[in-house]
Amino acid sequence: MTKKNTSGKKSPNHVAIIMDGNGRWAKERGLPRRKGHEEGVKNARRVVSIAQKFGVKYLTLYTFSTENWQRPKQEVGALLRILYQFLKEYANELVEKEVRVHVIGKYKEMPKVIALAFEKLIKDTAHFDDLHLILAVNYSSRSEIVETIKRMMQSKEDGIWDELDWEELSNHLDTRGIPDPDLIIRTSGENRLSNFLLLQGAYSEIYFSSVYWPDFGEGHFYEALEHYERKERRFGKTSDQLLTESIKNYDKTHS
């Protein structure tokens, strides 16, 4: 399902973004990495507004990965301080804009003051439905899958599932109740998913931008939407459907 944006073009229902390149953005400018992360957070706030403008219903931002803990201690500390500052300064604006916030990942294992701030923001925005902002915090897809299996085993007395399909499995993921992303964007020129929504993104269009995240603006977002619009989305059609389409195409070209 797509919505019309302000330009009249169709927008994907759910856009997920791997916000990459903050450190390199800072290095190229002779600035400390902390400054790059600060600018990255500022841009995240801008992109939320841009997504609303273009009619996106769900926006997921890869905010803090489980791998971030492996960075130098000083940088991890800076990331946590910036994240907490973001929550303090931006919470009221999200409420004013009627943005509903969801958090996926092991955010409750973050420092208590951050975890409590997330829980308050989730509660304060729970009744909104204009834009759903999903923040992936202390998140990795592999970790999510492991935790999902644990939840499923605990939900059965014997821990055994005789019958299991994708619908049932997806109902136990962190993203349960949230549609799969139609478009995944990664900035900074890296062409990989980095442990992000690996199951949910099975049929997503992927757009890789060479622009560092702090510089990823409205024009770049629009280019990603145009890329999405140009792609034919097939979503794993059945063999009967594909055969029927092939016959129709053959008849058209040989009539």
Q: pLDDT at position 154, please?
A: 85
Q: pLDDT at position 6, please?
A: 46
* C-alpha angle 38-39-41 in degrees, rounded to nearest 5: 65
- Structure-token match 């970790």, residue found: 143
Residue 40: count of CB within 10 angstroms of its CB: 25
Annotated catalytic, 68? yes
pLDDT at residue 110 tops 60: yes
Q: Is 19 helix (H, G, I), strand (E, B) or coil?
A: coil
Distance CA 148, CA 197 (A): 13
Specify the number of domains making up the chain: 1
For residue 39, tell me if it sits in a domain.
Answer: yes
The domain spanning residue 136 has which CATH number?
Answer: 3.40.1180.10
- Mean pLDDT across the stretch 236-246? 56
- 35-60 residue pLDDT tens: 999 999 999 999 999 999 999 999 99
Domain span including residue 196 = 9-253
- Tell me the C-alpha to C-alpha distance, in Å, between residue 208 and each of 46, 193, 214: 19, 10, 15
Distance CA 130, CA 223 (A): 23
- 189-240 residue pLDDT tens: 999 999 999 999 999 999 999 999 999 999 999 999 999 988 755 554 544 5
Contact 132, 185 (CB under 8 A): no
For residue 4, tell me if it sits in a domain.
Answer: no
Q: How far is CA 125 from the centre of its chain?
A: 18
Annotated catalytic residue, options 13, 68, 124, 215: 68
For residue 214, tell me if it sits in a domain.
Answer: yes
For residue 3, tell me if it sits in a domain.
Answer: no
pLDDT at residue 5 tops 70: no
For residue 2, tell me if it sits in a domain.
Answer: no
- pTM of the predicted model, to two decimals? 0.86
